[in-house]
């Protein structure tokens, strides 16, 4: 196609396919603004440089610490919802995946986060907890754990101690239309006293007739008093609006980068891999704790789940956590020789279909995470403060292991090695939700192997 241009991986404009490409609108009138069709191929994984580039655009430098704290609070918030609704762990994994993707392409603005003071739809749509609830709602559908929105919302608001019956500052659509129709009727033939329309259009939030629909007389007709949304109603409205935007952010890719035939999360793959390698219960529990700690991190955005699962097992076998505290189950520990044999027999490419470079990338990420965040991790609650064998803090075990893995070959990031390459990749732009309204947008699934072809 001579008139087709491609901007970045999977970002494609094709004006020739648009019925309005010649500048003619559907009504037949001429338009000076050309309307193009856009095709975007889902990109389930990013390089670390791409993530830094996106965060620099969506999160101010002064707000990055606040974003990290908020993400940790949101993670605990979602965990409480999932615990009360008895959802499996994979729902939490998918929820945090969606939540992190949202802030890759949307601004993080701390000024709009206090919805108690700004009870408007715009404030709700920028509140991290409402966004997290939306991600959880979509994740439930994707993971086949169907739950009504009102049930999820009720639990979420109960945890946040929010009164759903409280009226907000947002007028209902029907109220706005009713006021507009009444104003038109008065203007067209009725006698209207000065300022009566304006007085009926806005009622202070402290007024006793909010939500009651009590009319205001004006001349020969009456203008209905404005009706306001309750917090529960506005929360629902914001969630449904955000869900459609979130679907555009994930490019309608419900596989999360996995196989279309067999979609498995990291915790599910861990169980299968541990059985295949014959990992004992204590080491398997250690793997599960590591996986839980990694859920709110950026690792699931950079490495596929099967590579993460294998990397966790390799780190576990190298650390040999014999001193893991689990009182509910007694297990016989493997000998040092047996553990070494299991490590030597692991072939990531043949046995698990995991590219070695991606497994190495995950290993380095896991070790770096615990070196810097061990004290805040769940794993720290199941290990003694001092390692019995070395007599040092547990974090030194991760530091020593990383020093042994310094020569590992990791991703080269050739496709995003310079600022110019990142700037040319239009997929990394802040997403414009009005594109579909101006023309049309097509979203397509991607082959997850293509993303790593240039990096391996």
- Give domain limits for the chain: 1-172+230-254+429-456, 182-226, 266-411
pTM for the model = 0.80
**Whose CA is closest to 128, among 102, 152, 93, 155?**
102
Compute the distance between CA of residue 122 and CA of residue 103 in angstroms, rounded to an integer: 16
pLDDT per residue over 364-392, tens digit each?
999 999 999 999 999 999 998 888 778 88
Structure tokens at 78: 């979602």
> Please, what's the b/e burial string for 36-68 (b: 16 or more CB within 10 A of its CB; e: otherwise)?
bbbbbbbbbbbbbbbbebbbeebbeeebeeebe
For the structural domain made of 1-172+230-254+429-456, what CATH number should be given?
1.10.472.10
| Angle, vertex CA 425, rays to CA 423 and CA 429, nearest 5 | 80
Q: Which residues contact 346 (CB under 8 A, 6 or more apart)?
A: 277, 310, 313, 314, 352
Distance CA 128, CA 98 (A): 12
Give the C-alpha separation, 247 to 317, whole Å.
Answer: 39
Kindly indicate the confidence band of residue 146, based on its pLDDT and cuts at 50, 70 and 90: confident
- Residue 218, pLDDT > 60, answer no
Considering only residues 2 and 282, tell me which one the structure prediction assigns the higher pLDDT. 282
How far is it, in rounded angstroms, from Cα 212 to Cα 386? 64
Q: For the segment 58-102, what is each residue's pLDDT rounded down to a tens digit?
A: 999 989 999 999 999 999 999 999 999 999 999 999 999 999 999
Query: According to the model, what pLDDT value does residue 246 have?
Result: 93
C-alpha to C-alpha distance for 377 and 294, rounded to whole angstroms:
9
């Amino acid at each position: 196609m001579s008139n087709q241009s491609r901007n970045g991986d999977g970002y494609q404009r094709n004006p020739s396919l648009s019925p309005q490409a010649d500048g003619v609108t559907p009504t037949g009138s001429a338009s000076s603004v050309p309307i193009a069709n856009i095709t975007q191929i889902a990109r389930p994984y990013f390089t670390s440089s791409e993530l830094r580039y996106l965060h620099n655009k969506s999160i101010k430098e002064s707000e990055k610490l606040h974003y990290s704290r908020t993400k940790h609070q949101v993670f605990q918030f979602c965990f409480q919802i999932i615990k009360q609704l008895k959802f499996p762990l994979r729902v939490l994994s998918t929820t945090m995946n969606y939540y992190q993707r949202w802030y890759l392409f949307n601004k993080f603005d701390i000024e709009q986060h206090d919805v108690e003071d700004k009870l408007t739809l715009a404030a709700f749509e920028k509140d991290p907890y409402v966004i997290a609830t939306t991600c959880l709602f979509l994740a439930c559908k994707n993971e086949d754990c169907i739950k009504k929105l009102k049930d999820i919302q009720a639990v979420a608001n109960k945890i946040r101690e929010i009164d759903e019956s409280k009226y907000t500052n947002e007028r209902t659509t029907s109220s706005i239309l009713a006021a507009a129709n009444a104003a038109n009727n008065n203007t067209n033939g009725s006698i209207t006293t000065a300022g009566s329309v304006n007085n009926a259009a806005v009622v202070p939030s402290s007024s006793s007739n909010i939500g009651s629909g009590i009319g205001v007389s004006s001349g020969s007709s009456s203008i209905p008093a404005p009706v306001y949304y309750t917090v529960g109603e506005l929360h629902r409205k914001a969630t449904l609006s955000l869900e459609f935007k979130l679907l555009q952010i994930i490019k309608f890719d419900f596989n999360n980068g996995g196989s279309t035939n067999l979609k498995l999360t990291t915790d599910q793959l861990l169980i299968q891999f541990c059985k295949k390698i014959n990992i004992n219960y204590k080491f398997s529990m250690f793997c599960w704790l590591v996986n839980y700690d990694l859920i709110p991190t950026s690792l699931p955005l950079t490495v596929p789940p099967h590579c993460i699962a294998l990397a966790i097992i390799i780190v576990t076998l190298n650390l040999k956590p014999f001193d893991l505290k689990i009182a509910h189950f007694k297990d016989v520990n493997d000998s040092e020789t047996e553990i070494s044999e299991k490590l030597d027999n692991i072939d990531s490419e043949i046995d698990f279909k995991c590219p070695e470079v991606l497994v190495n990338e995950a290993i380095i990420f896991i070790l770096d995470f615990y070196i810097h965040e061990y004290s805040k991790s769940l794993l720290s609650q199941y290990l003694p403060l001092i390692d019995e064998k070395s007599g040092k803090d547990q974090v030194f075990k991760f530091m020593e292991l990383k020093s042994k893995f310094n020569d590992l070959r990791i991703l080269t990031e050739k496709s995003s090695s310079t600022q110019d390459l990142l700037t040319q990749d239009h997929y990394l732009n802040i997403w414009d939700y009005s594109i579909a309204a101006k023309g049309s947008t097509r979203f397509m699934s991607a082959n997850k192997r293509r993303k790593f072809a240039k990096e391996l």
